[in-house]
Amino acid sequence: MQHDLFLTQFRDPSVSAEPSRYADAWRVGDWTTDSGARSGDYATGLASSRFPYAALGGRSIVVPPPATNDALASNRAYEPNGLDDRQFAALISPACRSAFGMTYASAGALYSVHIYALRPTCDDAELWYAQTEDARLLLIDKVGAAEVGNALIEQWAWPTGVLIALVLDLRRVTDKYGHRGIRFATLEAGELTQLLRERAHKMGLISCALGGFADADVLRLLRLSPDWYGVAIMIGVGQGRANA
């Protein structure tokens, strides 16, 4: 295991320790495997969640319905086989630097969101890191397949073609922007989520974003310290189950 290496490798003593209090604020929203939504008769759907404004002077514009190919449905029925190397690389491609620069924006050009991925194999799960500066996927460790499932509240997400974790470098972004940096980093994670899900859709794969995971357990799988890093979102991507 490279656990100690990963916990120490990215600690730069030149960076201020002051952002640690912002990481503590992020941790307030952490879940454990016993966590979940409050129970209750909550109204669902758009009709119950939009504000009932009256159009000024009756002025409104009719919006055409989205086309079928615009849809990014949340699909949760995956084949359990991991993506092959070609599919995996093609999926991550939009997040990498190209000849014309990056395909998404980052506050202060800090690029404080890291892409990790867990890919199932016959006996375990491979842990990959996207080195997006030079467009490479690096196999950095292997973990037990059961460990991945045990870290998830939303059990449908494993095993799948690949399970992506978008990780915020809280120290890097808050050292410059203070608490506001957390918002900037989550905006960046949102852009990446959209990019990756759209690419999956174009590849004929299904995907679903999930927030139901035990934060500390996922960070432990990724060999990252909870002092400075937070998992913003995870994304399951894979082949749809034929009989789903």
Residue 148: pLDDT band by 50, 70, 90 thresholds?
very high
Question: Mean pLDDT across the stretch 60-65?
Answer: 92
Is 224's pLDDT higher than 70?
Answer: yes
Is the model's pLDDT at 127 over the cut of 60? yes
Q: How many CB atoms lie within 10 A of CB 1?
A: 9
Q: In the predicted model, is pLDDT for residue 47 greater than 50?
A: yes
Q: Residues 186-206: pLDDT tens digits?
A: 999 999 999 999 999 999 999
Alpha-carbon distances, residue 33 vs 48, 106, 216 (angstroms): 30, 32, 10
> Given a cut of 80, is residue 8 above it in pLDDT?
no
Asked whether the beta carbons of 82 and 120 are under 8 A apart, the reply is yes
CA atoms lying within 13 Å on the CB side of residue 208: 17
Q: Hey, where are the domains in the chain?
A: 17-25+77-238
206-210/229-238 β-pairing: antiparallel
pTM given for the model? 0.89
Identify the pLDDT of residue 19: 60
Give me the pLDDT at residue 22, please.
84
**17-25+77-238 fold:** NADH Oxidase (3.40.109)
Model confidence at 17, pLDDT cuts 50, 70, 90, reads low
Helix, strand or coil for residue 210?
strand
CA dist 242 to 40, 80, 200, 239, Å?
34, 12, 17, 9
